[in-house]
Amino acid sequence: MATARLARTGRFVWSGWAGLAGLSVFAAVWQAGHEAYGSFILPAPAETFASVVALLAEPESWRIVWATAGRALLGFGIAAGIGTMAGTLAGYHPAIMRLARPQITLMLGVPPIAWIVLLMIWFGNGVGTVSATAAVACLPIVFIAAAEGIATRDRGLDDMARAAGLGPIRRLLRIGMRQMLHTLFPALVMALGTAFKASIMAELLANAGGVGEELAVARANLDVSLALAWILLSVTALITVEYGLLQPLRAEIETWREAARPWGVRR
């Protein structure tokens, strides 16, 4: 099992080369854009990279990135918790699902910008608004995935577990929610990205500090290279959380899918 984990990590690191190749293509296109339009519109990748390095040298920028990441994660965590619980409930009880559907449509239909305005009125300009915006943006995604995962579970396994003597709590945790992870995980990955995007937007609009406010400052100074550097930093933070936390968790839980794949069909 430990060797399997090591092999998985090895494969993952190896697949990093492919990612690097993709990034190089991206950088090349960027460089071409830079050469066509000049530094004022689109600074060169190297230039931007230099700004990133300069930013990273200052402890203050670390603090700013951490602040944004923390707010995004707080909103994400709240949405993941509430969404999973409510979705599980709705998955087991179609009546609750029918009641919740219009709410979800409403949440998805209201533009995030409107939420930010409302939340600024309710929470003022601060962590509350930013995290709440992130949570509101993530909640429907998580809820729908959780409900879908429970609703499409294999009911035969429930009966089997009951016959084997598992109580309702253990059945919920070990059979029902275990099957839910299959739809929940992709939704969590998507929700995490949404949380970062929504947080930065809320920070920008509410002047609530963090990366969003730095972006606003860069815009005011027409400093494109600084703006791009902040964007790169926040994307890096998102990727760190996703590949450092969510994907290993997912790989651990989905070992059996790996095993079920026929020989030679490996990613």
Measured at the alpha carbon of residue 20, what is the angle toward residues 14 and 21, in degrees to the nearest 5? 105
- What Cα–Cα distance (Å) separates residue 160 from each residue in 92, 167, 253, 265? 17, 12, 21, 32
Residue whose entry in the numeric block shows the structure tokens 């004022």: 40
Minimum CB distance to other proteins smaller for 145 or for 192:
145
- Considering only the stretches 45-53, 80-88, 143-151, 249-257, report the one whose residues sit in contact with other proteins under the rule CB under 8 A: 249-257
Nearer to other proteins, 109 or 156 (CB): 156
Whether the CB-CB separation of 135 and 119 falls below 8 Å is answered with no
Nearer Cβ to other proteins, position 58 or 154?
A: 154
Token readout for 90 is: 């709705």
List all residues 6 or more positions away from 248 whose beta carbon is below 8 Å from its beta carbon.
none
Q: Which is nearer to other proteins, 85 or 253 (CB)?
A: 253
**Contact region for other proteins (CB under 8 A) — 59-67, 81-89, 127-135, 251-259?**
251-259
The C-alpha atoms of residue 232 and residue 106 are separated, in whole angstroms, by 33
| Residue range at the interface with other proteins (CB under 8 A); choices 19-27, 63-71, 217-225, 255-263 | 255-263
Question: Which residue's CB is nearer to other proteins, number 102 or number 156?
Answer: 156
- Minimum distance from residue 175 beta carbon to other proteins (Å): 7
Tell me if 109 contacts other proteins by CB under 8 A: no
Q: Per the structure block, which two tokens stand in for 152?
A: 């499409």
How near is the Cβ of 9 to other proteins at its closest, in Å?
Answer: 20
**Binding letters toward other proteins, positions 135-164, x by CB under 8 A:** -------------------x-xx-xxxxxx
- The answer to whether the CB of 80 falls within 8 A of the CB of 138 is yes
Cβ-contact 208, 127 below 8 angstroms: yes
Question: Among 130, 112, 118, which Cα is nearest to 71's?
Answer: 130
Nearer to other proteins, 106 or 249 (CB): 249
Q: Which residues bind other proteins (CB under 8 A)?
A: 154, 156-157, 159-166, 170, 175, 178, 253-256, 259-260
